[in-house]
């Protein structure tokens, strides 16, 4: 019947890998590889070349095989979910507007059955994951970057239950970084659990801290391809991660209670244990998805009870680093699914794009409708309300720079066409009016550009109105830079990158930039509304990805935004000339990720022997 489960649903991760191989989307590495830097280096090289998923048949120091780059390209990701993605989109569309079922019954009649048939299911017989047990040190000890504090699980599915309403339907499945070794963790007995603000596990943790009962936790690795994705999917209220995993898999999430812990029957590995209350140990450093190391900080500790595995399991991992990387496919898939929900979650919002190349949270670009006073002068009004809603909601509240345009200025504008979006904004922006700062607030845990850990600022650039300037890539006649500043290069029309002196300390650096702004006030720079001061202007201007990465990951809006002919009026800051962003590296920034060249050479040699393209 038309509402039955998907006949082609994968039954295991191994099943999915076999399907990829049968369709020429798998690379087998048959020789032994070292999980210490080498496997991650292989992964990064294959990803950069838009290569296939990778199966590592022999992992040094472990009896288990490993797989990575499963979601390495958008095409491959779409292939893995080809049978379920259209059905899940219909469910989400109905969630956004239930009246669609009445207007288009033939299109949406199967949607309720898709959701109902995906409800989590308790396994009656012994779960496959209980085939065997092992120890933490026998798992592939994947270390991705030279300064990492140890081996990490990079695609964990961390399962916890609410003590007030226990059970799978009120559980939380999240992807929180797990450190397996290193630092002060007792080998095979303790592992580190890193989670950030605005995460569901934090609510559970706070509740258990007030109770006598232990805070039990299960960490799933592997399983169906949808399970890892479900752990990071921002779901609408009332839809559990396990139900969503079932919808995306076309197969219900199977689970079982064993010795007081919830096990995923489809996982390849399950680590069970107890999150210790009021106990923290140093976790990190870790090369993360902003392209820098997140440094060592105190985080919760989990005391390991058991490590289960299924027969012939696969250790599923990824190597994160400067975006784009494999996890970019998660962002693409999320956009494919949640775009219909945007107007319901943020009234008046047409589009929202977390820019992957900038590390996601540092830069959001958006388009909103303007309906407040259509008979008056076209100035930012409703889009400011929308911007405040974005910065007050869940994960989007971690945004640091939010650029929002008005849809009535150009109905065809697209947030995913960044060059055109920036052009549209910079042609119209009025820096005396369109900048709105939050000077002391929370930012992403992984972002070290702020004034402290999780502390920083935000700025909204809200732009609406007629085009007010023609952007230029030509410097003014007799253009000269002040001493210490050099190598001007255009990132795109209207955006000029300039190499600045090395940032040594805040006060002299501030004086340097203020003097720069006074010097530049001598020139007419109407066609250049934005200047980026950086350490390497050639690199910054080389690609759009370089520009957004350098500019928005290395700047704290309140501290690093300057302007030519700047002013303060009634506590509102603005500038009559170009906006100047100080995107130099600062002493408090985390170091950027630099691979080991010798390891990369070995990885290249391994690929040369194993990859026949």
Whether residue 282 contacts residue 183, with contact meaning beta carbons closer than 8 Å, is answered with yes
pLDDT value for 478: 87
Go through 290-321 and write b for each residue having 16 or more CB atoms within 10 A of its CB, e for each that does not: bbbbbbeeebbbbebbbbbbbeebbbbbbbbb
Pair of tokens at residue 300: 């919760």
pLDDT above 90 as % of the chain: 73
Q: Which residues, other chains included, contact 52 with Cβ-Cβ below 8 Å and sequence gap of 6+?
A: 20, 24, 25, 26, 27, 46, 69, 72, 76
pLDDT at 7: 52
State the span(s) of the chain assigned CATH 3.40.1670.10: 342-463
The helix/strand/coil state of 587 is coil
Buried b (16+ CB within 10 A) or exposed e, 20-46: beeeebbbebeeebbbbbbbbbbbbbb
- For the segment 317-331, the average pLDDT, to the nearest whole number, is 93
User: Using one digit for the tens of pLDDT, what is the confidence trace for 416-465?
Assistant: 999 999 999 999 999 999 999 999 888 887 788 888 877 899 999 999 99
Three-state SS string over 179-204 comes to ECCCCCCCCCCEEEEECCCCCHHHHH
State which H helix or E strand residue 517 sits in. Answer: helix 506-520
Helix runs in 286-377, H state only: 328-338, 342-345
In the β-sheet with 53-59, what is the strand arrangement from edge to edge? 26-33, 53-59, 65-68, 314-316
What's the rounded mean pLDDT across residues 245-271? 94
Low-confidence winner among 34-43, 265-274, 473-482 (lowest mean pLDDT):
473-482
| 404 CB-side CA count, 13 A | 31
Of 58-72, 358-372, 374-388, highest mean pLDDT: 58-72
Please write down the HEC assignment for all residues of 363-411.
EEEEEECCCCCCCCCCCCCHHHHHHHHHHCCHHHHHCCEEEEEEHHHCC
- Band of pLDDT at residue 2, cut at 50, 70 and 90: very low
Cβ proximity of 225 and 82 under 8 Å:
no
The pLDDT tens digits of the residues spanning 231-249 come to 988 776 667 899 889 989 9
Two tokens, residue 563: 């302007």
The pLDDT value given to residue 3: 41
Instruction: Judge whether residue 366 has pLDDT over 50.
Output: yes
Q: Name the β-bridge partners of 67.
A: 55, 316
First-residue to last-residue Cα distance in the chain: 42
Cis bond before residue 324 (omega within 30° of 0): yes
**Residue 448 has what pLDDT?**
86
| pLDDT given for residue 205 in this prediction | 86
What is the pLDDT at residue 236? 64
DSSP letter at 580 equals: E
pLDDT at 1 over 50: no
Average pLDDT over residues 136-152: 98
pLDDT digits (tens, 9 = 90+) for 472-524: 999 998 899 999 999 999 999 999 999 999 999 999 999 999 999 999 999 99
- What average pLDDT score do residues 81-93 get? 84
Residue 89: pLDDT band (50, 70, 90) is: confident
Angle, nearest 10°, between helix axes 597-610 and 38-48? 70
Please provide the average confidence, as pLDDT, over all residues in the chain.
Answer: 91
Q: Helix H segments across 68-128?
A: 74-80, 85-96, 100-103, 105-108, 111-116
CB atoms within 10 A of CB 104: 12
Residue 527 CB partners (closer than 8 Å, separation 6+) = 469, 470, 471, 472, 474, 493, 494
CATH of domain 342-463: 3.40.1670.10
Q: Is the pLDDT of residue 589 over 60?
A: yes
pLDDT tens-digit map of 543-574: 999 999 999 999 999 999 999 999 999 999 99
Q: How does pLDDT run across 156-201, given as a tens digit for each residue? A: 999 999 999 898 988 989 999 999 999 999 999 999 999 865 567 8
**pLDDT for 4:** 45
Range list for CATH 2.30.110.10 in the chain = 13-316
Question: 492: closest CA among 439, 545, 588, 419?
Answer: 419
Q: 554: which DSSP letter? A: S
Q: Read off the pTM.
A: 0.92
What class does CATH assign to 13-316?
Answer: mainly beta
Identify the pLDDT of residue 579.
98
In this structure, the chain runs to a length of 613
Position with higher pLDDT, 499 vs 8: 499
Mean pLDDT of 111-126: 77
Provide the pLDDT for residue 496: 98
Task: Grade residue 8 by pLDDT with cuts at 50, 70 and 90.
Answer: low
């Amino acid at each position: 019947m038309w509402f039955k489960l998907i006949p082609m649903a994968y039954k295991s991760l191994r099943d999915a890998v076999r399907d990829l191989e049968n369709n020429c989307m798998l690379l087998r590495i048959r020789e032994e590889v070292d999980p210490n830097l080498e496997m991650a280096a292989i992964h990064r090289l294959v990803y950069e070349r838009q290569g296939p998923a990778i199966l590592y048949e022999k992992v040094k120091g472990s009896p288990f095989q490993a797989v990575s780059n499963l979601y390495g390209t958008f095409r491959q990701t779409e292939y893995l979910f080809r049978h379920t993605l259209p059905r899940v989109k219909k469910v989400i569309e109905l969630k956004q507007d239930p009246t669609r079922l009445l207007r288009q019954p033939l299109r949406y009649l199967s949607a309720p059955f898709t959701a109902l048939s995906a409800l989590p299911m308790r396994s009656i017989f012994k779960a496959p994951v209980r085939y065997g047990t092992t120890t933490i040190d026998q798992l592939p000890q994947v270390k991705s970057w030279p300064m990492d504090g140890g081996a990490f699980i990079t695609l964990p599915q961390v399962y916890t239950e609410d003590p007030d309403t226990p059970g799978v339907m009120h559980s939380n499945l999240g992807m929180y970084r797990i450190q397996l070794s290193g630092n002060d963790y007792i080998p095979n007995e303790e592992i580190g659990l890193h989670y950030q603000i605005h995460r569901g596990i934090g609510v559970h943790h706070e509740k258990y801290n007030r109770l006598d009962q232990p805070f039990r936790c299960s960490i799933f690795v592997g399983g169906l391809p949808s399970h890892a994705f479900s752990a990071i999917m921002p779901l609408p209220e009332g839809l559990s991660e396990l139900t969503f995993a079932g919808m995306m898999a076309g197969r219900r999430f199977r689970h079982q209670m064993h010795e007081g812990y919830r096990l995923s029957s489809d996982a390849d590995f399950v680590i069970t244990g107890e999150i210790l209350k009021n106990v923290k140990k140093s976790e990190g450093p870790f090369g993360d998805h902003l392209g820098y190391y997140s440094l060592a900080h105190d985080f919760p500790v989990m005391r390991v009870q058991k490590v289960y595995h299924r027969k012939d399991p696969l250790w599923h991992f990824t190597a994160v680093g400067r975006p784009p990387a494999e996890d970019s496919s998660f962002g693409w898939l999320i956009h494919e699914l949640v775009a219909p929900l945007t107007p319901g979650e943020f009234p008046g919002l047409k589009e929202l794009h977390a820019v992957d190349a900038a590390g996601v949270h540092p830069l959001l670009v958006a388009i909103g409708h303007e309906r407040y006073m259509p008979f008056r002068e076209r100035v930012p009004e409703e889009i400011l309300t929308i911007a405040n809603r974005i910065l007050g909601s869940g994960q989007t509240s971690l945004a640091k720079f939010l650029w929002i345009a008005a849809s009535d200025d150009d109905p065809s504008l697209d947030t995913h066409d960044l060059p055109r979006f920036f052009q549209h904004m910079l042609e119209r922006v009025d820096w005396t009016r369109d900048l709105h700062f939050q000077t002391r607030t929370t930012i992403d845990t992984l972002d070290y550009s702020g004034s402290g850990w999780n502390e920083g600022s935000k700025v909204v650039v809200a732009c609406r109105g007629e085009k007010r300037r023609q952007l230029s890539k030509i410097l003014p006649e007799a253009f000269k830079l002040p001493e210490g500043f050099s190598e001007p290069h255009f990132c795109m029309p209207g955006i000029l990158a300039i190499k600045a002196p090395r940032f040594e300390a805040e006060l002299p650096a501030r004086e340097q930039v203020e003097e720069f702004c006074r010097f530049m006030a001598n020139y007419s720079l109407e066609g250049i509304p934005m200047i980026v001061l950086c350490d390497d202007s050639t690199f910054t201007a080389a690609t759009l990805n370089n520009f957004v990465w350098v500019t928005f990951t290395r700047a704290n809006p309140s501290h690093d935004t300057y302007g030519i002919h700047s002013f303060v009026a009634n506590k509102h800051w603005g500038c009559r000339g170009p906006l100047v962003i100080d995107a130099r590296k600062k002493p408090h920034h985390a170091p950027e990720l630099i691979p080991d060249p010798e390891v990369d050479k070995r990885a290249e040699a391994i690929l040369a022997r194993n990859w026949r393209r």
